[in-house]
Amino acid sequence: MAPTPLVPGPDHPITVEPTGHHVTVSVDGRQIAASDSALTLREASYPPVQYIPIADVDPEVLRASDAHTHCPYKGDASYYDIVVDGTERSDTVWVYREPYPAVADIVDHVAFYADRVTITVGV
């Protein structure tokens, strides 16, 4: 039986909005993603997260991982490793393939751990 999704509210707000700027993701100076269609997800007191359409990520650097997690507000996440110049960064990218209704806009978008890559949001 699938868990019942929690609905964002005043005690745990979540918003998803177009970022409105060009967003790039780099690893060791190599750009691996660039998008003008990124979404910014803000959740409770966590730092904002950029969700980039997976179509805007270089598929050559992504390798599916066996890792999975569950968020009661967003659903089940699957992960990718990033492999750049022979160096692997395990479980650095996540995706909600079937996000819960409250965050349905992030379907087909991926997010990156900001401490493992360089994320630049243009002005």
Q: What is the pLDDT of residues 31-59, one digit of tens each?
A: 999 999 999 999 999 999 999 999 999 99
Q: Quote the pTM value.
A: 0.95
Report if residue 3 sits inside a domain.
no
Report if residue 38 sits inside a domain.
yes
Count of domains in the chain?
Answer: 1
Other C-beta atoms closer than 10 Å to the C-beta of 27 total: 20
Which domain, by its residues, includes 98? 14-121
Report if residue 106 sits inside a domain.
yes
Report if residue 40 sits inside a domain.
yes
d(CA 80, CA 60): 12
> Residue 101: which CATH number?
2.170.150.40
Burial (Cβ within 10 Å: 0-12, 13-18, ≥19) of residue 34 = middle
Report if residue 6 sits inside a domain.
no
Report if residue 99 sits inside a domain.
yes
